[in-house]
Amino acid sequence: MDDFGRIVYLDVEKTGSSFISKFLQDNMTCQRVEKVKHGRVGSDFKKGSFYFISVRNPLSQYLSLYSYGCEGKGAIFESLKNSGHTQLYQPDKQSFQHWLRFVLSAENAGYLGADYQSVDTELMGLQTFRFLALSFQKPLAKLKPLHDYATLCRLYEKKKIHSQVVRNESLRADMETLVETHLSSFVDVESAKRYLEKSPPINRSPKLGFNIESIDEEAMSLIRRKERFLLERFYPEDL
């Protein structure tokens, strides 16, 4: 969570969050109130403030998370290393698919941290959980009782605290739209647009020796099932 008072960014992991937070730090004319990396909103919810969030195609998000782990980085890598599962991290397609099945298996949810094991992991995969955990005020109290997809969808529509979603795949264009609308009173619009045009990516995970299109159908089917919520709302073309 990156809090600038009237503007609050909900920084979901591996969605371009480092770039967006740096953009806000470098361009907002008001002072940052608080930054808690991937922090959830509780009693500190600011009614009347504008909240926005970022999202990414979950397959691409998993691939980025895996690549990060292949470099020995990230909380999930540390958890799996400490539990003797470093063999899951090899920079090839077969290892990635094996890792993917491992992290999407309900019995392994406890390795993934952030209270993921406390929700229905068949209803929501890790990336859906990470998105939803930043979408609500006091999210765990809302997510733990859920076991039905339709109920989850209704809850999201009724209780989400963000008003805008930035897609990683169109990050700069989506941020430019925000600059011209909700952020226009808090940045120098033309300077912010130049910044978006010229600034390089931040914290990009290294590419592996295979592409997303080569992932087998079993792995893709697993992602479609576990990450249905994200795919239906933001990436219906990949269902």
* CA dist., res. 188 & res. 30, Å (int): 11
Q: pLDDT tens digit string along 49-72?
A: 999 999 999 999 999 999 999 999
Q: pLDDT tens digit string along 204-227?
A: 777 888 877 788 998 899 999 999
Q: pLDDT tens digit string along 107-137?
A: 999 999 999 999 999 999 999 999 999 999 9
156: in domain = no
User: Whole domain around residue 86: which residue ranges?
Assistant: 58-150+205-238
The model carries a pTM of 0.96
Contact partners, residue 1, CB within 8 Å, separation at least 6:
8, 9, 10, 11, 34, 35, 36, 38, 39, 40, 41, 134
155: in domain = no
Residue 53: per-residue pLDDT = 98
Q: pLDDT tens digit string along 146-204?
A: 999 999 999 999 999 999 999 999 999 999 999 999 999 999 999 999 999 999 988 77
Are residues 232 and 127 part of one domain?
Answer: yes
Residue 207: per-residue pLDDT = 81
Are residues 36 and 97 part of one domain?
Answer: no
